[in-house]
Structure 1
Amino acid sequence: MRAGLAAVACALLALVAGCGADGMNRADAKVVSEAAAPSEVPVKVAGGLAKWGEQRPAGDTLLVTVSSPRSFVPGDTAYPKAPRAAGFDITLENVGTSVYRSSQLVVQASTSDGKRMAAVVDATQGYSGVLAGEVLPGRTARLSLAFALPADQVNVVVTVQANVAQATTTAEFEGPA
């Protein structure tokens, strides 16, 4: 039974992330609330990386917040195997006038020295790696993603890009995990 679940997890990861891809371009998203009124849109912070929990623009119409990481030990059916992983809740706020298609989203993680971190699929802990849906104008969606970590604490950079095909601005967040 475990081998069958592991095979399903591997197939899902390959389908979602593509062969050799370290970032996630899909994850579960649900509309969770109305977005702030345009007068409440935060001003772009000049330079530097955001801290966990801060909001940053990713493109012209998407505001992104990345939660503090939640460290966990991936289960037996998780892929890839790792000594530990960090889960992140990512909030997307559409402050534009058109629908944002979450399939355009690219999320990657790396150590602060640039080493890419593999995305983890662990459906038993809520990290399925599948993102589908739309974020309507004035609405907010939340998704959860996880990335493999080394055994010891490291500084992590999570990069969120709203639309890689249009080379939109990236939102970058950094902190210990």
Structure 2
Amino acid sequence: MSRKTQDKLSTNIHRTEIFVETIHHDGLCAEFSVMYPISTGPASSFIWAAIIATLLYYMFYVFENTSLSVTVLCAVLLFSFVYCHFIKVHKESLLVIASSGIQYMTTYRTGRQLSLFIPIDCVQDVVINEGITMHSVIYYLVVLMKDPQNGKAKSLLPIFMKTSPRINTLREIYQGIQGILWSRKHSFSQTTIS
């Protein structure tokens, strides 16, 4: 049984609109997603296509060289594909399952997805960390990972770095994650006491 608890419009640290969605599947599982809204649609694509076509027509008219125009067109198309497929992130999501672990997934504009699963034995905690740059302080969510054999801290995995939500959004996500992880620890301690 899944129920959506939040779906709100917010802004990130760069003042760009983002959607924040929280889906609770049951008491011990939730998915937190931060995504950019779908682009403005065919109008913006048409404008870019018109600009590129005008530039190509101008190049052909001035230089009277079709091979140069075709080369530039191919370069522009290749650059736009590489940009959308490898750089432009559409959505970042974090699936927290108290009994299994945490799955972090990044979805790019072309639909390509990268996912990383962290077993619950390797999760030490999830915290909000701050980074200080020359001109600002940024906050980001971090999964503290540990070595399951000796329990020592192993590494940090920053979450939601491409969508960069503001601190108030990070707090809401943090509280949801801690609620799930705390309920797991609480239920685990209750079974060991009994």
Q: TM-score range by the shorter chain?
A: under 0.3
Q: TM-score, normalised by structure 2?
A: 0.25
Bigger relative contact order (CA 8 A; separation at least 6): 1
State which structure, 1 or 2, has the greater radius of gyration over its C-alpha atoms. Answer: 2
